[in-house]
A = this chain, B = another copy of it.
Amino acid sequence: MNKEKIGITVSKKEDFSEWYTQVVIKAELADYAPVKGLIVLRPDGYSIWESLQKTFDVRFAKRGVRNGFLPVLIPESLLGKEKKHFAGFNPEVFWVTHSGDGKLGDRLALRPTSETLAYTLYSKWIQSWRDLPLKINFWNTALRAEIKGTKPFLRTSEFLWQEGHTVHATKQEAQDEVSEILRIYQSVVQDELAIPVVVGVKSEKEKFVGAEYTTTMESVMPDGKALQMGTSHFLGQNFSKPFEVKFSDKDNVEHFAWQTSWGVSWRLIGAMIMVHGDDCGLVLPPRVAPVQVVIVPIKKSSDTTDTIHAKAREIGHTLESCGVRVQIDDRDGMSPGYKFNEWEMRGVPVRIEIGSKDMEKKSVVVARRHNGAKSDLGFESIGEISGILDEIQKEMLKKATRQAEELAFSISEYGKFKSRIREGGFVHAPWCGRQECEMRVKEETGADIRVVPFGSGDCNQKCVCCGEASSSIPVFARGY
């Protein structure tokens, strides 16, 4: 148990990619599965996902969304029913061809996404206006064969996500749903994970295959690359027509319904690690931390009484009764320093130290993970820890917002644009709206249009690429 083995051995600044992987593995969030491109979640990693699930479930329920279950196997014929959609996903589909020793009649796809399956069922379930709106969310996994550049949480061949699928009687109602869901995504990511996002729409080229338009939230990572944090799609009637999702209205006339789909994945956990972590390891926002406070009793070998441990346990109970998630680290045979390093690497927001001197002073030392600050807190004031956790949560969002601002640039000249893209960051630049320019930028810089922020139209400037009149100011960046 030497420090080297458990500590992070590279700096975030110097080797971001290696740093990231080490944090994921050494903080015991995840590990590699035996199949390339697949990971497993260890309890600390899964606990963060469960915490997000709980928050989303409450928010979704308020909008009348309920959860359901869909199987992972989809017949090939069904997947092909919406042509563009199929063409988009086909190259990365896993195919089941056999069961036991026998060959299957039809190949079965492992779900890359569930539109085709869900809407086959919806068309049976929906008959009348009384059956609308129908709003179901599925907490499951999606499978897409990723061959290169796989990375835990960011690019894996199977990933945990939620996919919501709603059906509405009117276009307006469906579009409102798309917006409201994106709003929920944005506020959960900001409030729970302390990460700021840019919201807007995807370009035609980047939208979901089969959608009329895709709204998205994007964040810039500390290495200057963009990460798509969640998308909410307006599907129009693109699926309701081939899948015959129809309803008879109050006037008994049959109409095709209007649909939406939307999802966030465990990529959010990857973003959280990248945005907040430091050279000592993980830094967890208190709201999603599996353990929010670790108490380390520091007992010298000469101490003969057990008063320190008793006090630690008492403080632990007090905090638990305030709803704080606490762990007491009373392991024998490990130095306090070793313990501090370990809990820092695991990102626990607050460490409480209590030794014989503290006992005399009737106070504990409170160490904050996100900024390293240490202060004393009297025994009588232990209840203030809840407030300190809230404060930390807010400070982490502020810091992350500053970080993102430092990586945001407004540029209208193509030479500067290209060199900035090379260095990384979110580059806001005017664009004429033509795919030709979007493609040229991609070829020459590797950057995509990540998002056209809401309200960035009507800008009266010149396209950074061709010099023609611009129609919006998208965010260009290279992405994960």
Chain A contacts to B: CB under 8 angstroms: 31, 33-35, 38-43, 45-47, 49-50, 66-75, 78, 90-101, 107-108, 110, 117, 120-121, 124-125, 130, 136, 141, 143, 145, 157-158, 160, 331
- Separation of A382 and B257 alpha carbons in the complex (Å): 41
A124 touches B33 (CB 8 A): no
A100 touches B96 (CB 8 A): no
- A70 proximity list for chain B (CB < 8 A): 33, 40
A33 touches B96 (CB 8 A): no
Task: Give this chain's copy count.
Answer: 2
- A157 proximity list for chain B (CB < 8 A): 73
- State which of B31, B69, B136, B145 has its C-beta within 8 Å of the C-beta of A121: B31
- A50 proximity list for chain B (CB < 8 A): 67
B110 touches A100 (CB 8 A): no
- Separation of A100 and B88 alpha carbons in the complex (Å): 11
Q: Which residue of B lies closest to A42 (CB)?
A: B68
A75 touches B158 (CB 8 A): no
B68 touches A46 (CB 8 A): yes
- State which of B34, B41, B99 has its C-beta within 8 Å of the C-beta of A93: B99
B47 touches A67 (CB 8 A): yes
B34 touches A49 (CB 8 A): no
B121 touches A35 (CB 8 A): no
Given A35-B71, A38-B73, A71-B35: A94 and B96 interface contact (C-beta under 8 Å): yes
A40 touches B69 (CB 8 A): yes
- Separation of A47 and B125 alpha carbons in the complex (Å): 18
Task: Among A39, A70, A71, A96, find the residue whose CB has the most chain B CB atoms closer than 10 A.
Answer: A71
- Separation of A160 and B34 alpha carbons in the complex (Å): 23
Task: Among A40, A46, A50, A107, find the residue whose CB has the most chain B CB atoms closer than 10 A.
Answer: A40
- A45 proximity list for chain B (CB < 8 A): 68-69
A158 touches B73 (CB 8 A): yes
Q: Which residue of B lies closest to A145 (CB)?
A: B99
Given A92-B99, A96-B95, A100-B90: A33 and B117 interface contact (C-beta under 8 Å): yes
- State which of B35, B43, B91, B95 has its C-beta within 8 Å of the C-beta of A68: B43
A209 to chain B, nearest CB (A): 15
Q: Which residue of B lies closest to A89 (CB)?
A: B100
Starting from the known contacts A35-B75, A39-B71, 18 additional A-B residue pairs (CB-CB under 8 Å) come to: A33-B70, A33-B121, A34-B74, A35-B73, A40-B69, A40-B121, A42-B136, A46-B67, A73-B157, A90-B100, A93-B100, A95-B96, A95-B97, A95-B98, A96-B96, A96-B97, A97-B98, A100-B145
- 8 A–B pairs (Cβ distance < 8 Å), ordered by A: A33-B121, A34-B74, A38-B73, A41-B68, A73-B94, A92-B100, A93-B99, A97-B98
